[in-house]
Amino acid sequence: MEASLKASLDTSLKNLRLPTILSEYGELAMMALEEKYSYEQYLLSLSKREVEQRFNNKVKHLLKSAKFPKLKTIVEYDFTQVDISKEAIHQLCHGNFLGDYNNVIFFGTPGSGKTHLAMGIGRELCLKGYKVLFHTGCSLMQELVKAKNNLTLTNFFKKLMAYDLIIIDELGYIPFEKTEGDLLFQFISDRYERKSILITTNLAFSEWDSLFKDKMVATAAIDRLVHYSQIFKFDKDQSYRAEAAKKRLKKQK
């Protein structure tokens, strides 16, 4: 290819913001000659590479913006330890429940892997192009209180609405004041029938009065969450962390 032609083509591709085509069109052109591609086949191959790279970049951004404390996978989870349907969890990973604005609630004993599965599902959804945000119950409350004090609560809710799924981990582990419980109820109400929430908690619904400090508010929050939801109960005699600690002690002996 003539130098002037290449320079013009490179400039055009830069202006069009097609970096993958810019870096690979030369190599693919040689392959196209060898394989006797038609012009259309050559263009299609280039465009596919650009689309694939853009999606990969998007996934990297989604995983970063999700703010997972760790990247956990579904494959790593031991389903033999709890009576949870592996098939049902894999169905959640497809993301169909997001289109219906359904919620997911994991409740049960500490150390039963609720957080692991929540992050694993969140990761799978990011890989499929969905926008996910991870919060602990405590960190979400801090953000809600900050927004309320700054008189930006409405804008904060609008910002959160951009996420297909918000994961709230360890809800109920740290008690809230009544004003904080009211903020959590506002958050749940704002997403009701509009976007999905996944909650992990050690509290059964009968104990949510302690979370909101108001029985009526607790009932209203539960009603909105369970109207469209899948609920999974995690029961385990001993937590994964306790089991891991025991194994470490055995090795040290």
Assign residue 197 the CATH number of its domain. Answer: 3.40.50.300
Specify if 67 maps to a domain: no
Note the pLDDT tens digit of each residue in 191-207.
Answer: 999 999 999 999 999 99
Specify if 249 maps to a domain: no
pLDDT confidence band for 237 (50 / 70 / 90)? low
- Quick check: 219 pLDDT over 90? yes
Query: What does residue 61 show for φ and ψ, rounded to 5 degrees?
Result: -65, -40
Asked if residue 8 and residue 109 are part of one domain, the reply reads no
Asked if residue 146 and residue 102 are part of one domain, the reply reads yes
Considering 60, 87, 104, which residue would you say is the last residue of a domain?
60
Specify if 193 maps to a domain: yes
Asked if residue 104 and residue 45 are part of one domain, the reply reads no
- Quick check: 54 pLDDT over 90? yes
The mean per-residue pLDDT over the stretch 41-55 comes to 93
Average pLDDT, the chain: 90
Asked if residue 204 and residue 98 are part of one domain, the reply reads yes
Q: Is 192 helix (H, G, I), strand (E, B) or coil?
A: coil
Asked if residue 177 and residue 129 are part of one domain, the reply reads yes
Specify if 70 maps to a domain: no
- Quick check: 249 pLDDT over 60? no
Asked if residue 142 and residue 21 are part of one domain, the reply reads no
Asked if residue 212 and residue 104 are part of one domain, the reply reads yes
Q: How many C-beta atoms surround the C-beta of residue 211 within 10 A?
A: 23
Number of domains in the chain: 2
Note the pLDDT tens digit of each residue in 124-161.
Answer: 999 999 999 999 999 999 999 999 999 999 999 999 99
Burial 43-74 (b: 16+ CB within 10 A, else e): eebbeebbeebeeeeeeeebbeebebeeebeb
Q: What is the pLDDT of residue 175?
A: 83
Q: What is the pLDDT of residue 111?
A: 85
Nearest CA to 161 out of 194, 138, 128, 136 is that of 194
Edge-to-edge strand order for the sheet containing 132-136?
132-136, 165-171, 196-201, 103-108, 229-234
- Quick check: 50 pLDDT over 50? yes
pLDDT confidence band for 35 (50 / 70 / 90)? confident
The mean per-residue pLDDT over the stretch 71-90 comes to 91
Considering 11, 33, 60, which residue would you say is the last residue of a domain?
60
Q: What is the pLDDT of residue 236?
A: 67
Asked if residue 135 and residue 103 are part of one domain, the reply reads yes
Specify if 74 maps to a domain: no
pLDDT confidence band for 1 (50 / 70 / 90)? low
Asked if residue 179 and residue 120 are part of one domain, the reply reads yes
Residues sharing a CB contact under 8 Å with residue 71, sequence separation 6 or more, in sequence order = 63, 119, 123
CA–CA distance, 211 with 217 (Å, rounded to integer): 10
Specify if 72 maps to a domain: no
Name the pTM for this structure. 0.84
Nearest CA to 122 out of 111, 110, 106 is that of 106
Asked if residue 238 and residue 169 are part of one domain, the reply reads yes
Specify if 253 maps to a domain: no
CA–CA distance, 118 with 55 (Å, rounded to integer): 23
The mean per-residue pLDDT over the stretch 94-121 comes to 94
Domain that residue 8 falls in:
3-60
- Tell me if 92 sits within 8 A of 132, measured CB to CB: no
Asked if residue 145 and residue 199 are part of one domain, the reply reads yes
Specify if 227 maps to a domain: yes
Q: Is 132 helix (H, G, I), strand (E, B) or coil?
A: strand
- Taking CA 84 as the corner, what is the angle to CA 111 and CA 195, rounded to the nearest 5 degrees? 85
Asked if residue 217 and residue 96 are part of one domain, the reply reads yes
